[in-house]
Every structure is written in structure tokens, then in C-alpha cells.
Structure 1
Amino acid sequence: MREKLVAEKVGVEIANGQRDAFTKLISTIPDLIILNIEDNIEEFVDFLEKKKKDINAKNIPVIISGPVASKETVGNLIQYDVIKYFTKPIKFDVFFESIGQVLKLGLSMDTTPCVLDIHLNNNIIFIEIAMGLNREKIAILKYKLSELIEKNKIETPKVVLMMTDLNLSFVDGLNLELLFDNIISNKSIAHKNIKVLSLDEITKDMIEGHPEYDGIEVVRNLSDVLNSLVGNNNSEDLHDAISENFLTATKDANTGSVEMRFYSDSGAAADSDDGSTITARAAIIDDDVVIRELLKKSFENLGFEAETFSKGSEFILEATRKKFSVLILDIFMPGLSGFDILKSLQDRKIVIPTIIYSQAMQKEMIMQSLQLGAKSYLLKPQKPEVVTQKALEIINA
């Protein structure tokens, strides 16, 4: 946040802890206070009470990013001039837009469509980028990488940068350079441990022609990447490595899987003012009756309304009548495929956060799913709890 605001010519003071925060508050009298709350809102009540009692500081607006809170809790913050409460993980473009509105500044924001996700398994960090290069997301990536490495105490991190969906031109050169600079800025990542999976000649030429990127390797095949990093040539083990490292999310979503969240990625959000879900209704489309019933029961155990469909045409009809919070969708089915269903939803301008749950592990199918609006991709089979947990992450985001 600080880097972005400073780039926009906004003066920023950083404070750690309430005592430091209040000292800087009364000495600088800022135009806006941004509070980052990790766990408990009550921990900041003393600071907000002191602010309220200070004649110079009491009317300074406050924006908070914090954990999910009840509507009553958020309502109680209004007395402290809290004008916005963002439930984590925040959507950065909306967050900065709100800051700009308070400061009466037109903060610039790169709106290039971009899917950027990080998945961690053991000491291998998979970064996948699709659709385009977004400078805001690339800037965030640098800090997310450091956070991931430090939190998981990775001594020898290895990075696989997956960019097979990108077809770049010379105008993307600056953004491409920013991407590599942000990755190698973490000194714990050795150049020889960075593999770039790309079919793009511009990417290859930039790395090979740039002395600062010496040692970074561009490859065209995922198996070659994993053979060199995992050190395992057994095809079955390699299949498992691909599945575990890339196609499924890490078990601990808080430390292993990071999404660069922008409002523009997901369309209209189905969140209430307190950050909770307005309608908890899941749709499950799969031609396997066992999978349908297992997922239905798991969602119902979490308090969802769950509806199952064996055919995509049946679901499309219901989707025009009802609002679903999440869609679990197989790709290969009789009649309409999962891709057909995603296209049909787009044509009808129906926005439903979608998880693809399929046996297909081809990279092309994964990227096609993301391009058609899917938010996540899980490889069958998974325990039902893995699917429901991923659904909750997407909904609560």
C-alpha cells in the first residue's frame, strides 16, 4: 500500500502498534487513517477512543481492513469516523479507489485483465499468470512471495513461473521486466532455481539478453521443469507432483495459496455490508451421481442450500431464475460441457463464482477455464471438505 501511494505522490507514515500510531497521529494530523487489523477489532478500540477524544484528530476519516465482523460490530465503528470496513482478503482496486475518494485524488490503477495466483508445495512456489500483465498485481507479488517464504520458513525456495497463456508484444517489455525484477528481488531465490514455462519468444529473448537474469531458464514443457526441480524422473511420481503442486490448492490456504484479488476479476460480489454471504446456495453439476450427492451433503452440513444437476441445460434454466453463491462444475459431461456452460453464463451475463472440479489435467483446459471466468480448478478426486473449503474461500473473498 505504501509503495503504491508514494508512487501517486501521497505522503505516508507507517506506524507499528497503538502507541506509535497515536504519537504519529497527533504529530502529523493526517487526512486519512488506514488500520490493518489481523485478528481482533477490540485490540484497536483504545486507539480509536483516544482519537475520538482528541479535538484535532476526532474527525479524521478511518478505513479498516480486518477479519470478518458482524454487522453490529462494524456499525459500532461509525462513532470513530470509520467510513469503510474491508473484509480480508481485500480487493485492492476497490480499496485504492476508496482511498482516492477520501483524499479527493484520482489514483491510477492498471485495469489490464490478469489472473495471477501462487501455489506452494514443499519448497516449490508455482506462480501462474494468464490473460495479461497487470502492474498492480505484479507489485503485490513481490511482497506475497516474501511473506510466503518467511511464513513457511523455506530455506531454498524454487520458483516455477507459468506463462504459457501469454502472447506478449514489445509494449509488454516494461511489465515483463518488472515481473522478473520483483521475483529476483528476494535474495533467497537463486536464479538457477527459477524456471519460466513459456512459449513466448519475447519472454525468452528478454531473459537471455538480460545479464541480471543470468541463470533463469525458459522451458516449454512442464515435465522438464519438474524433473529439474523435483529431481524425479518416474512418470507416475511426476504425475502426482504436477497434481499436488499445481492443480490442487495447498492444504493450508492461509500460507500456501495466494490470490491477487481485484474486484474486476469477479464481477459483482455477493457480499453483505458485514462481509458475510447474502445467499448461501451452491449448484453442483456433474454426471456422476455419487460425486453430486457427496458434495450436496457436505455443502448442506455447512448450512448451504445445495442443488444438483446432471445436465448443464437444466442448470442454465435454474440460473436464470435463482441466484447461486458458488458453482461446482465438471468439464466432461453428456450434452453441454463445462466450457459450454461457462460460455452460456457469460452470454447471459450471469456471474457465479465457479470452481472447476474435473479429472482433466491438461494445461490448456485449465487456462481455458480461467479465461472463461472460473475462479479455481481442483483435480478429481478430492475429499468433499477440500471442495467446500475452496468454495468458502472464494465466497468470502
Structure 2
Amino acid sequence: MKSVLVIDAPPMMREFLTEKLTAENVIVEIADGQRDALPKFLSVLPDLVIINVEHSVSDILDFLDKKQSDPNGKKIPVIMSGPVIDHDEVSDLVQYGVIKYFTRPIRYDLFFDSVGRVLHTSFSVDTTPCVLDMHLNKDIIFIEIAKGLNREKITLLKYKLAEIIESNNLLLPKLILMMSDLSLSYVDGLNLELLLENITADRRILRRNIKILSFDTFVSDFIEGHPIYDGIKVVQNLSDVMASLVDTTADSIENLISDKILALSDGNGKNADAVRFYSDTHTAYGSPETSEGLLKIAVIDSDMSVVKYLKSVLETIAEVTVFMTPKEFVSSVQPGSFDFAITGMVMPEITGLDILRFLVEKHIDLPVIVYSNVIQKEVIMQALKLGAGSYLINPQPAQVIVQKVLEIINARKQ
């Protein structure tokens, strides 16, 4: 049997790799730290070494030097993951048998393709477009799933949930699964079953503390038809979700929705985490390009201060065209005119909802983010129903806006 030595992987990555490799009859050995790594490496002499670097490549150089000095170990290939490093550093790693360096967050489809080439094993990796975000606010874990159900991300979700619960000492965590963007059918049944299995795997998450926001009848019928999901409630109203899980001491349900769902990021990423697939050359922001060149984004808002702010933020990743009146945008937009759009909600004559309806009616496939200070739940849910990729409450830090744009763009590329 083939064997792999995994060194210094964080818990989520370690558990995910172990599950994935074991399913293909690959023996997995785990090592924490260089002192543990070298003895295990020499005793096992695995077919592949997978190393995660937390801070700097220099942290693992001592192990790599000793590996190369061993006549039996120097030919064993290494795959590494870690922070962004420059091209020269990647080139220097070749002398140690490093055949691939993946920048975090890892794109696992490419990662397992590389592992499979070394082990002469074909790994099945689900590439279904999917956006999966997780946020923690007090004892409530919010999970947002859009675009589709991806089995790899759903599997990672199980480990990430356990990590969040343990690191924050949550005794009775509550979970809100937001799936308002998804429309499923019986062919998605196995993936939905896997999702529910993974979010209920941790015994600390009681079924009565799980609420699912979905407008899809298949989801509600699927859950109501399975006794093992007894206690899980599917709702179509954000107020119902919050009223059942949160002590309503705030001024209103609308404030609760804004505070606990729509404004989860603190600007430093403190309360936000994600399960995502990006390319292995992804940088913090990057400059995504289309086949015609630099990404083109339309910004639509009648508020000059909002327009100036969004333009300055988005010019770091794209060519930005500003429309101070929504009529101007509607009269000029055509299929392929733009790759992305960000619109306000309250504008003269034409609202953000009108823009979304127009795009649907004209069959213009354009991803849109609504950026507005309107927090009424009816407006928010209507925007999502009309195809908005996300609804961001104004104001938001620059990194939150850019991250959300790149996230949606990357999901559509997969």
C-alpha cells in the first residue's frame, strides 16, 4: 500500500486529508514538529511527504536538509502548503524534492491532482461551483451556502465546525444554515444528506438548535420526510430564525438581523471564516482577468460618497465604470458589457430591485452585489430571490467588499 507522511497540518486539514487518502487505501502518518517528523520519516520512508508551513519556509528547512542527506529519503517527493512566497523561494525548494507549493487557502482539486500523480491514484474531487462561508457571533454559527453543494467543501465543513466549537468553548452552539440562493432537486439528495450529516455530526449541536433558511420546497420536504432530522426547522423568514434562537433584547428584529447576520465581519476577519477553493497562485487580492483582459465592474449609486469609496476600493482589482443614475446603466448594459456589478438600493426612479429585475428579464448573466444601508428583511430577501449574489450592509471595510467580489467570481469560474 502507498503511504503519506503529513507534517504540521492544522486539525481541519489533517482530518480532511486523512479521510480523503484513507478512502483510497493510502496509509496516513501524522507528525507534529520537526523532532517528530524526522524519526517518522526515516522509519516509514513514505511515498510522499505533505508539509504545511504556518509562518515561514525556513521553519522546515532543517527537516528538508536531513531528508536530502538520507540516501533512501532524498528521492521522496514533497508537496507543501503555506503563506504566499516569492518565485525565488519556490525555486529554492526544488533542491529538496518539493514538486509543488500551494498557497493558502488551498485549491483542493489541484492539490489532489498533484497527490494523485505521485501516488498513481485517481482522486475523485467534486468541482461543483459553491460558495461556503462561516461566521461566529457569540454562540451562533452562521453558515451561508450559495451556487451549489460541493461534497469536498461539505466534508471540510464538519471539521471546521468542530474547530470553531472547541476553540471558542461553545457548550450549546446554535446553527443557522442560510441556503436562500439554492434551488435543489432529487438529484441533490445525496449531497443534501451529506450536508445534514456533517452539521449534526458534533453531538454538541442539538437538532432543535439548527435552523435552515430556505425557500426551496425540496429542502423542506426532504427534512420533514426524514425522522433522523426531527427537530431541525426550515424557515422562510429571517425574523423567525432570530426570534427562536436569540434573546430579543435589541430594539427590533431588524436590528438583530443586521447585527447578527448581515454585519458579521468586524473588518479584521476576527469573526469570519470560510471554506473555499482558490487557485494555488492566489494572492491576498490578486488581479482577476477575463479572456478579454482586466475584470470590468459597474458601480451604480446616486450617492457620490458611496460611488467614490467603491471606485477606490475596486480599482485595486478591476477596471471600474461609475453610473450615477441607474437609468444610465440600464440603457447601456448589454450581455458581456461587464463582469460584475455593485448597486445601491434606494435611487431616483429606478431601485436596486428594478435593476435586478431588468437583468433577469433581459437574460443578462451578470453577478451583482447590493451595497446599501437598507436592512428591511423583505427587501433583502427579495434581492436575493432576484439573483443578487450577496447583500452587504453599508458601510463595510474595503477588504470585506473585495473578498466578497473575488469569492463570487471564483465560484462562477469553477
TM-score if structure 2 supplies the norm length?
0.75
Structure 1 equivalent of residue 306 of structure 2: 291
The aligned residue for residue 126 of structure 1 is 142
Indicate conservation of the 8 Å contact 1:227/1:233, yes or no: no
Match of 1:192 in 2: 208
Please give the per-residue CA displacement for 1:231-274, whole angstroms capped at 9, x wherever unaligned.
Answer: 3286x5321222233233422665533333235xxxxx6x8587
Q: Is 1:79–2:95 an aligned residue pair? A: yes
| Counterpart pick for 1:92 among 91, 97, 108 | 108
Listed one character per residue, the Cα deviations across residues 131-171 of structure 1 (whole Å, up to 9, x for unaligned) are: 43322221111011112222333333110112334443344
Equivalent residue number for residue 244 of structure 1: 259
Aligned-residue offset at 1:180: 1.6
Look up the match of 2:398: 387
Distance 2:113 2:392 in 1: 33
Question: What is the aligned partner in structure 1 of residue 176 from structure 2?
Answer: 160
User: Any conservation in 2 of the 1:356–1:369 contact (CA below 8 Å)?
Assistant: no
Q: Structure 1: any 5+ residue segments left out of the alignment?
A: 264-268
Change (3 A) 1:68 1:390: farther
State yes or no: 1:259 paired with 2:274. yes
Give the letter for the 1:52 counterpart: Q
Instruction: Give 1:312 shift.
Output: 3.9
Measure, in 1, the Cα distance between the counterparts of 2:115 and 2:38. Answer: 20
2:18 paired residue number: 2
- The runs of 5 or more residues in structure 2 that have no matched partner are 1-16, 289-293
After superposition, what is the alpha-carbon deviation per residue over 1:359-397, rounded to whole angstroms, capped at 9, x for unaligned?
465224236546xxx4x5422x214xx133441586599
Name the CA shift for 1:340/1:84 in 2 (closer, same or farther; >3 Å).
Answer: farther
User: 2: CA distance between counterparts of 1:87 and 1:359?
Assistant: 35
Asked if structure 2 preserves the Cα contact closer than 8 Å seen for 1:62 and 1:84, the reply is: yes
Provide the C-alpha distance between the structure 1 equivalents of 2:91 and 2:159, rounded to a whole number of angstroms: 32
After superposition, the Cα gap between the structure-2 partners of 1:27 and 1:165, relative to the gap in structure 1 and judged at 3 Å, is same
Name the structure 2 match of 1:266: none
CA distance in 1, matches of 2:181, 2:363: 22
Aligned to 1:40: 56
Secondary structure, aligned partner of 2:28: coil
* 1:14 is aligned to 2:30: yes
Per the alignment, in what secondary structure is the counterpart of residue 45 of structure 1? Answer: helix
Amino acid in the other structure paired with 1:24: K
C-alpha distance in 1 between matches for 2:221 and 2:317:
50
CA RMSD of aligned residues (A): 3.7
Aligned-pair identity in percent equals 44
**Does 1:217 find its partner at 2:233?**
yes
In the alignment, structure 1 residue 365 sits paired with structure 2 residue 378: no
Map of 2:7 onto structure 1: none
SS at match of 1:155: coil
Q: Which moved more, 1:222-231 or 1:277-286?
A: 277-286
Is contact 1:130–1:367 with CA below 8 Å preserved after alignment? no
CA separation in 1, counterparts of 2:74 and 2:332?
A: 52
Distance 1:275 1:294 in 2: 20
Partner letter of residue 239 of structure 2?
S
CA gap 1:329/1:79 in 2 versus in 1, 3 angstroms: farther
CA contact under 8 A between 2:103 and 2:281: conserved in structure 1? no
In 2, are the aligned partners of 1:285 and 1:312 still within 8 Å (CA)?
no
Question: Residue 123 of structure 1 contacts residue 154 of structure 1 at CA under 8 Å; is this kept in 2?
Answer: yes
Q: Distance in 2 between matches of 1:43 and 1:123?
A: 36
Q: Secondary structure at the match of 1:8?
A: coil
Contact 1:355 1:391 (8 Å CA) reproduced: no
**Aligned pair in 2 of structure 1 residues 171, 345: CA closer, same or farther (>3 Å)?**
closer
Amino acid at match of 1:382: P
1:309 matches 2:322: yes
Structure 2 letter corresponding to 1:44: I
Equivalent in the alignment of 2:161: 145
Counterpart of 1:294, as a letter, is Y
Query: Cα distance, 1:116 vs. partner?
Result: 2.4
Q: d(CA) in 1 for partners of 2:309 and 2:19?
A: 46
Alignment map for 1:222-233 (pairs within 5 Å) = 222-232=238-248
In 2: Cα distance, 1:56 partner to 1:227 partner = 63
- Partner AA of 2:191 in structure 1: N
Paired residue secondary structure (2:384): helix
Alpha-carbon shift at residue 200 of structure 1 (Å): 4.0
1:221 is displaced (CA, Å) by 1.9
- For 2:65 and 2:330, the matched residues in 1 are separated by 56
Distance 1:42 1:345 in 2: 52
Q: Which moved more, 1:83-92 or 1:250-259?
A: 250-259
Q: For 1:395 and 1:197, how far apart are their aligned partners in 2?
A: 24
The alignment partner of 2:276 has SS state of: coil
- Whole-angstrom distance in 2 between the partners of 1:171 and 1:345: 26
How far apart, in 2, do the equivalents of 1:314 and 1:156 lie? 52
Q: For residue 250 of structure 1, what is the amino acid of its counterpart?
A: S
Q: What are the Cα deviations for residues 63-95 of structure 1, in whole angstroms up to 9, with x where unaligned?
A: 111112222222221221222211111122222
Deviations 1:296-321 (A, max 9, x none): 45567xx778745125479979x879
Give deviations 1:80-133, integer Å, cap 9, x for gaps.
122221111112222222222332322112233333222222221111223433
Cα deviation, residue 229, structure 1? 0.7
